[in-house]
């Protein structure tokens, strides 16, 4: 284990490893530091080891002692070239990083595998998370695999498919009234009072962000050790774009990639605190008190931890990228186009990335020949966007060829 400590991303205060969360002085996210001189180049290569090792093939770059790893073979998701979707959207070189292929169906399995492993290393008995759904589903699965007690605090309007998933794994699920920020505040308070270990992934748990980092290694390796022009990421508070950015920075430091990607934070118009600050030219992200979007995974008001958004905005600017928001209507249109043209069935949150890429193309920020990677963060099975009215409209016939012919399906 080569992690040696943590540093505040805003004020630089240093912390030792242990049960650390945010900066105690300024409430900003912490960043895990490593003794990079001891890490081998081979640690970056996702091709090594067995498939069941998953992202832990990069264990030298993750902040957990190997004997505590709790894994379901997460990571090693494919990077898929999408020519048919690209043609429809006007992007000649479009790739989808398909994170729907994770054990619980979303990218959250990466940060939760790390955070639950760390919980085991730190001797925790109960882990707690507050989440819009996917992180809690992931946490429930990893806690089950580790044999830890799991407490999940979710917003009252969490999609039922995700709740069923948590219940099946035996987590203690509690709905908390109001937005996910209420749940996050509760998890933080409960951590102190009940001696639980908090694995909430809005930068609350600094180890978890290191799991997000592994997306970068996989993208670079699949592209032959280089960065694409743009990486577009559906974003609530921002650990995924922050982790990807950190990963590319590490690879550049090791001489594995020459250039860095421009990072795009993709948000929904109904919950766009980072895109709003970016548009107005400011450096500080402020909360978005009454969020409302179909993209439930990024419906995060940042109340009580808007410093997370500020940190993410800083990364966007440093990378020369952008933060942008699109309407729910456009999110649903593009999400459906992803599965209709490429068979990639994602939840609306995930479709936000491709929808925002289209918006930046329209504005001339992204060029039609730029190489664009969109991260598809969660599976369509988790939050279907086809309405039950479409199911009710499906034809039902007796087993007769005439009845089938009458439907004129070839037209």
The CA dihedral of 291, 27, 3, 219, to the nearest 10 degrees, is 30
Entry field: residues in the chain:
411
Residues numbered 100 to 119 that lie near its own copies (CB under 8 A) are 100-105
CB of 294 to its own copies, least distance (A): 14
Q: Are 155 and 179 in contact (CB under 8 A)?
A: yes
The DSSP result for 252-276, as a single string, is HHTTS-SS-PEEEEEEETTB-HHHH
> Judged by CB under 8 A, which of 38, 280, 364, 391 binds its own copies?
391
Q: Which is nearer to its own copies, 10 or 127 (CB)?
A: 127
Q: Does residue 304 belong to the site contacting its own copies (CB under 8 A)?
A: no
Q: Which is nearer to its own copies, 9 or 131 (CB)?
A: 131
Q: Which is nearer to its own copies, 26 or 405 (CB)?
A: 405
* Phi and psi torsions of 386, nearest 5°: -85, 135
Q: Which is nearer to its own copies, 74 or 308 (CB)?
A: 74
* Phi and psi torsions of 105, nearest 5°: 90, 10
Q: Tell me, rounded to whole angstroms, the distance of Cα 123 from its chain centroid.
A: 26
CB of 102 to its own copies, least distance (A): 8
First to last CA, the chain: 61
Q: Which is nearer to its own copies, 81 or 314 (CB)?
A: 81
What is the rounded radius of gyration, in angstroms, for the C-alpha atoms of the chain?
Answer: 21
Whole-number Å distance between alpha carbons of 366 and 230? 8
Of the ranges 166-174, 270-278, 283-291, 309-317, which one interacts with its own copies (CB under 8 A)? 166-174
Helix (H), strand (E) at residue 325:
strand 322-326
Of the ranges 228-236, 317-325, 350-358, 375-383, which one interacts with its own copies (CB under 8 A)? 375-383
CB of 82 to its own copies, least distance (A): 9
CB of 408 to its own copies, least distance (A): 10
CB of 35 to its own copies, least distance (A): 29
Q: Which is nearer to its own copies, 235 or 383 (CB)?
A: 383
Q: Which is nearer to its own copies, 77 or 235 (CB)?
A: 77
Whole-number Å distance between alpha carbons of 96 and 231? 10
- Burial of 297-316, coded b for 16+ CB within 10 Å and e otherwise, reads bbbbbbbebbbbbbbbbbbb
> Judged by CB under 8 A, which of 27, 126, 286, 365 binds its own copies?
126
Strand order in the sheet with 79-81: 79-81, 93-98, 371-376, 230-234, 262-268, 322-326
Q: Are 278 and 204 in contact (CB under 8 A)?
A: no
CB of 16 to its own copies, least distance (A): 27
Q: Does residue 290 belong to the site contacting its own copies (CB under 8 A)?
A: no
Residues numbered 316 to 355 that lie near its own copies (CB under 8 A) are 336, 339-345
Q: DSSP code of 346? A: B
Residues numbered 49 to 68 that lie near its own copies (CB under 8 A) are 50-52, 54
Q: Which is nearer to its own copies, 74 or 276 (CB)?
A: 74
Residues numbered 67 to 96 that lie near its own copies (CB under 8 A) are 72-73, 76-81, 84
Tokens 């049960």, residue located = 19
CA 157-161-162 angle, to 5 degrees, is 70
CB of 238 to its own copies, least distance (A): 23
CB of 319 to its own copies, least distance (A): 25
> Judged by CB under 8 A, which of 11, 26, 65, 168 binds its own copies?
168
């Amino acid at each position: 284990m080569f992690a040696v400590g943590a540093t505040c991303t805003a004020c630089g205060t240093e912390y030792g490893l242990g049960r650390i969360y945010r900066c105690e002085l300024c409430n900003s996210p912490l960043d895990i530091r490593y003794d990079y001189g001891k890490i081998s180049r081979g640690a970056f290569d996702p091709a090594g080891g067995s498939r069941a090792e998953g992202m832990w093939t990069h264990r030298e770059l993750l902040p957990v002692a190997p004997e505590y790893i709790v894994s379901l073979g997460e990571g090693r998701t494919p990077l898929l070239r999408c020519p048919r979707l690209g043609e429809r959207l006007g992007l000649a070189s479009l790739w989808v990083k398909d994170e729907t292929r994770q054990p619980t169906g979303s990218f959250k399995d990466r940060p939760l595998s790390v955070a639950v492993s760390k919980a085991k290393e730190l001797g925790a008995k109960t882990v707690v998370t507050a989440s819009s759904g996917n992180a809690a589903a992931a946490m429930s699965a990893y806690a089950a695999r580790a044999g830890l007690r799991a407490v999940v605090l979710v917003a009252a309007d969490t999609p039922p498919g995700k709740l069923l998933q948590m219940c099946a794994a035996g987590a203690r699920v509690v709905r908390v009234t109001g937005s996910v920020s209420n749940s996050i505040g509760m998890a933080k308070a409960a951590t102190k009072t009940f001696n639980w270990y908090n694995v909430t992934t809005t930068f609350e748990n600094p180890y978890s962000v290191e799991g997000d980092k592994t997306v970068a290694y996989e993208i670079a390796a699949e592209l032959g050790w280089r960065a694409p022009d743009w990486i577009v990421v559906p974003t609530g508070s921002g650990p995924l774009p922050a982790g990807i950015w950190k990963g590319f920075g590490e690879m550049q430091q090791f001489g594995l990639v020459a250039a860095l990607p421009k990072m795009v934070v993709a948000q929904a118009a109904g919950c766009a605190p980072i895109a709003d600050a970016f548009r107005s030219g400011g450096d500080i992200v402020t909360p978005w008190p009454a969020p409302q979007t179909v993209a439930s995974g990024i419906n995060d008001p940042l109340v009580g931890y808007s410093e997370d958004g500020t940190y993410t905005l800083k990364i966007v600017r440093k990378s020369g990228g952008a933060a942008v928001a699109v309407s729910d209507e456009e999110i649903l249109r593009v999400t459906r186009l992803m599965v209709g043209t490429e068979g990639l069935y994602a939840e609306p949150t995930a479709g936000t990335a491709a929808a925002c890429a289209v918006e930046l193309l329209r504005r001339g920020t992204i060029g039609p020949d730029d190489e664009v990677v969109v991260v598809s963060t969660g599976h369509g099975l988790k939050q279907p966007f086809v309405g039950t009215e479409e199911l009710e409209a499906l034809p039902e016939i007796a087993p007769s060829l005439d009845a089938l012919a009458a439907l004129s399906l070839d037209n």
